[in-house]
Each structure stands twice: as structure tokens, then as C-alpha cells.
Structure 1
Amino acid sequence: MNVTDVTWRKSTYSGGQGECLEIADGLPPCSPVPVRDSKRPDGPHLLSSAPVWAAFVGALKAARY
């Protein structure tokens, strides 16, 4: 997946310390979700399947982590 032309965003809950994850916005539903370290925008990124990412976010919202 080419992620050079995507728009990256941080959570609105992120603090100003620069220790954040960013995800790519505006991709089609069910496409892989690119995730990167905000401190290294030119560094590597991870791809998560949409269902796995949704489960991870759901677990965070439920305070399981």
C-alpha cells in the first residue's frame, strides 16, 4: 500500500509530548489501516486489517488496556 499521499491524523486525546500514533485518514472502508509513530513520519508504518484495528480501538475505549 502506498501511503505517501494519505492524510495522517493523531487522536484528539493525544498530548503535546510528541509520543503519539497516527493513522491514515480517508481510506475506503475495510481497507488496511496504516499506523505510524508521529515522531518518525518518514519511518516505517504498520498495516492493520480494519476489523483488527476496530477491535483494538474498542478495547481501548472499554479501558481494557
Structure 2
Amino acid sequence: MSTDHITWVKATASGSSGNCVELGSGAGDATVVYLRDSKDTQGPVLRFTRSEIAAFIDGAKRNEFDHLAH
């Protein structure tokens, strides 16, 4: 899959370590959000609907995944 048309964004909290994921959106495709590993920009890219990403972000805000980071 070509990712040339995707504008990528990385969380500012990731700092300069590069240990983060990036989310992206493509021009003309308002229904899909892409996710990739910022350390492997040529690696696999996952596709999610905007509602799936919204559900994940809501869960993250509610600390539902905190136990996975310890």
C-alpha cells in the first residue's frame, strides 16, 4: 500500500525517542484513519474507521488500557 497520500501525526508526548505510533489521514478519504509504527515508516499500516479510533481514544482517556503499560 502506498502511503504517499497520507499526512502523518505523532503525539508530542513521544519526544525525540521515536518510540511511538503515528496516526494519519488521507486526502479525499474522510472515513479512514491509518496507524503505523514511527520507527518503521515503511512497515505495515493499519486502517481503522473514524468511529473505531474514536472508541479507542475514549477508552484511553478513561484509563482502560493503563494496565497494559506496566
Q: Which has the higher contact order (CA 8 A, sep 6+)?
A: 1
Bigger fraction of residues in helix: 2
Which blocks of at least 5 consecutive residues in structure 2 are unaligned? 66-70
Q: Number of aligned residue pairs: give it.
A: 64
TM-score (norm 1): 0.79
Aligned counterparts of 2:18 and 2:44: Cα–Cα separation in 1: 17
Please, what is the CA RMSD of the aligned residues? 1.9
TM-score of the two chains, using structure 2 as the length reference: 0.75
* Greater C-alpha Rg: 2
Residue 25 of structure 1, CA deviation: 4.0
> 2:22, 2:13 → 1: CA distance?
12
3-state SS in 2 of match to 1:32: strand
Q: Could you say which structure has the higher strand fraction? A: 2
